[in-house]
Amino acid sequence: DGGITQSPKYLFRKEGQNVTLSCEQNLNHDAMYWYRQDPGQGLRLIYYSQIVNDFQKGDIAEGYSVSREKKESFPLTVTSAQKNPTAFYLCASSSTRQETQYFGPGTRLLVL
Amino acid sequence: AQSVTQLGSHVSVSEGALVLLRCNYSSSVPPYLFWYVQYPNQGLQLLLKYTTGATLVKGINGFEAEFKKSETSFHLTKPSAHMSDAAEYFCAVSAGTASKLTFGTGTRLQVTL
């Protein structure tokens, strides 16, 4: 089955700790995206990548970092500089020839 | 620049009643418009989309939406609500293929007996 997987489903971060969220897709999509979802605020774009080894900041990139070493993978690191990391994180991907983004099941990040 | 406004953060309807979720957009280029649905603690699932062509778009689960350029609207409707329609619905706009999506703040649909 083709799709997008995110792991883990739940992640706990201690103060001052960096954590990495995984996103993998087997849809052969070129573009991948990371969104943050907070109650009442919809989804906000953190980072996106349209091709391997290239990525751009979204609207709320501060305190986050990404890499795109493989077409299938787009991990997101939440650094200690992100002071309010508690949120639901969603990864998405799309073909550069199509307009539709497909979403993974999400990772909920909680701070201990 | 583009933006989306969803009117009503919560909408409650009776089972069997009409569902109407409102979405207005602004875009400096011809928009691509989307409706997604999200069930609790899950990702987003595409309901329907408008890119070009026919302005009345039919999606999954009996939903449809009409693109009205003059009103900059893309409202989502379903003739008869079902209990399984209870979820959060997001309207989104993009400028084209592999473009950033800009989301509205969402509308939570409650369906009562």
B97–chain A nearest CA distance, Å: 4
Chain B residues touching A98 at Cβ < 8 A: 97-98
- A4-7 vs A76-78, strand pairing mode: unpaired
Q: Closest Cα partner for B101 from A77, A51, A65, A46?
A: A46
Chain B residues touching A41 at Cβ < 8 A: 105
pLDDT of residue A97: 74
> For residue A56, which amino acid is it?
Q
Q: What is the pLDDT of residue A67?
A: 98
Mean pLDDT to the nearest integer, B48-62: 93
Q: Is the pLDDT confidence value at B99 over 80? A: no
Q: Give A35's contacts in chain B (Cβ within 8 Å).
A: 103
pLDDT number for residue B36: 98
Q: Collect all residues with Cβ–Cβ distance below 8 Å to B20 and sequence separation of at least 6.
A: B11, B75, B76, B77
Q: Is B31 on the interface with A (CB under 8 A)?
A: no
- Residues of A at the B interface (Cβ-Cβ below 8 Å)? 4, 6, 30-31, 33, 35, 40-45, 48, 50, 58, 88, 90, 92, 94-106, 108
Q: Percentage of chain B with pLDDT > 70?
A: 98
Mapped onto helix, strand or coil, the DSSP state of residue B60 is: helix
pLDDT at position A40 is 81
- Quote the CA–CA distance of A104 and B2 in Å, as a whole number: 24
Per-residue model confidence as pLDDT tens digits over B34-44:
999 999 989 99
- Beta carbons of A46 and A63 less than 8 angstroms apart: no
Is B43 part of the contact surface with chain A (CB cutoff 8 Å)?
yes
Please state, rounded to an integer, the average pLDDT across all residues of chain B: 94
Give me the average pLDDT of each 10-residue run along chain A (112 residues): 90 92 96 93 93 95 97 96 93 86 95 86
Say how many C-beta atoms besides its own lie within 10 A of residue B3's C-beta: 12
pLDDT at A9: 95
Q: What is the pLDDT of residue B98?
A: 63
